[in-house]
Amino acid sequence: MIKKALVTAIAVALLGGFVFGRDLFSYAKTSANEVRKAVKREVPPEFELERAREMLDGLLPEIKEHLRVIAENQVEVERFEQEIARKEVSIRKQEQAILALREDLRTGSGTFTYASRTYSSDEVKRDLKERFDRFVNANEALVRDQKILTLRQKSLLSNEDKLDKMLLARKDLEVLVEETAARLNTMRAVEAAAATPSINIDNSELNRLKMLLAELNKDLDVREKMLDAEGKFHGLIPVETTDEVEVPENIENEIDTYFQEDPQEIGHELALEPTL
């Protein structure tokens, strides 16, 4: 199986080289890029947002490590500052002792007494030279330590500045992630609203229902008429009273007065009118 796959791959490579020639690798690279783009387009935004949150959380261990390194540097710088301060006090004492012995030698005396003990001028000179050599070496070491302290202080300030910038950048990214999440939620809400199915009402069904109700009401009207007629045929006693129209006695005179014309002429004119 592996051999067959290998042979197939070689055949495809040879065919591609024959068709595309030197441009084979360019075509292959372009094809791979298009595939990657197509795959990336299919990745849902929620997945990318969650990936961004994980990357943001992934910065925390690095930040904690920087905090630890800075804390260690701060401790080292503080201890080094204290050590240099002690050395400076010691060197000042050595300087005072050297200057004091030098002033004593200026007197030209042959002997000198210190702490109830007498020393010759040569002994004082030897002690002064030894003290001076130690002082010079200690002072040179102090200068070197001060330079080292300055470099450590600058490095500490640089690291603290880098950490502050990193924390600020992470905060900005955190805000950006939340803004992106809110924007994505808004977009999804709009999509959900747009995807709400519309209501389609079948007007033909409504029309058929209206016709059915109209026929039913018509049938009920017919049935009521039939029941009313059947009641009359079964000798129901009418209890309703009919208002009789009162006829005036002088109806002819009222008509003649209304028209104010001779009744014969009115009758003659009516006779001349064509009958419809």
Supply the DSSP string of 116-129, one letter for each residue: TEEEEHHHHHHHHH
Condensed to tens digits (0 to 9), the pLDDT of residues 31-89 reads 555 655 555 566 788 888 888 888 888 889 989 999 999 999 999 999 999 999 999 99
103 belongs to a structural domain: yes
Residues 32 and 82 in one domain: no
Which H or E run includes 275? none
216 belongs to a structural domain: no
Residue of higher predicted confidence among 253 and 121: 121
208 belongs to a structural domain: no
Residue of higher predicted confidence among 229 and 58: 58
Residues 57 and 114 in one domain: yes
Residues 106 and 143 in one domain: yes
Paired tokens of 256: 């003649």
205 belongs to a structural domain: no
Give percent of the chain with pLDDT exceeding 70.
65
Residues 68 and 51 in one domain: yes
Residues 164 and 78 in one domain: yes
Task: Please tell me what DSSP assigns to residue 43.
Answer: S
Reported confidence tier of residue 271, pLDDT bands at 50, 70, 90: very low
Which residues is 111 bridged to in the sheet?
Answer: 120
Residue of higher predicted confidence among 30 and 11: 30
Give the range of the structural domain holding residue 27, as residue numbers without chain letter: 1-42
Residues 25 and 98 in one domain: no
Residue 276 has pLDDT above 50, yes or no: no
Paired tokens of 85: 């301060």
Condensed to tens digits (0 to 9), the pLDDT of residues 110-147 reads 999 999 999 999 999 999 999 999 999 999 999 999 99
Q: What is the largest CA-CA distance in the chain?
A: 191
Domains in the chain, number: 2
Average pLDDT value over all residues in the chain: 77
- Distance between CA atoms of residues 208 and 188, nearest Å: 41
- Distance between CA atoms of residues 30 and 42, nearest Å: 19
Residues 106 and 3 in one domain: no
Residues 100 and 87 in one domain: yes
Neighbouring C-beta atoms of residue 24, cutoff 10 Å: 15
Reported confidence tier of residue 29, pLDDT bands at 50, 70, 90: low
Task: Please tell me what DSSP assigns to residue 262.
Answer: -
Given 193, 216, 251, which residue is the final one in a domain?
A: 193
Residues 183 and 48 in one domain: yes
CATH of the domain at 166: 1.10.287
State the first-to-last Cα distance of the chain, in angstroms, to the nearest integer: 112
pTM: 0.51
Residues 104 and 10 in one domain: no
Is-contact 66 166, C-beta < 8 A?
A: yes
Given 193, 209, 231, which residue is the final one in a domain?
A: 193
166 belongs to a structural domain: yes
Is-contact 88 141, C-beta < 8 A?
A: no
Reported confidence tier of residue 275, pLDDT bands at 50, 70, 90: very low
- Distance between CA atoms of residues 170 and 51, nearest Å: 15
3-state class (DSSP) for residue 113 = strand
209 belongs to a structural domain: no
Residues 189 and 78 in one domain: yes
Is-contact 135 96, C-beta < 8 A?
A: no
Residues 74 and 151 in one domain: yes
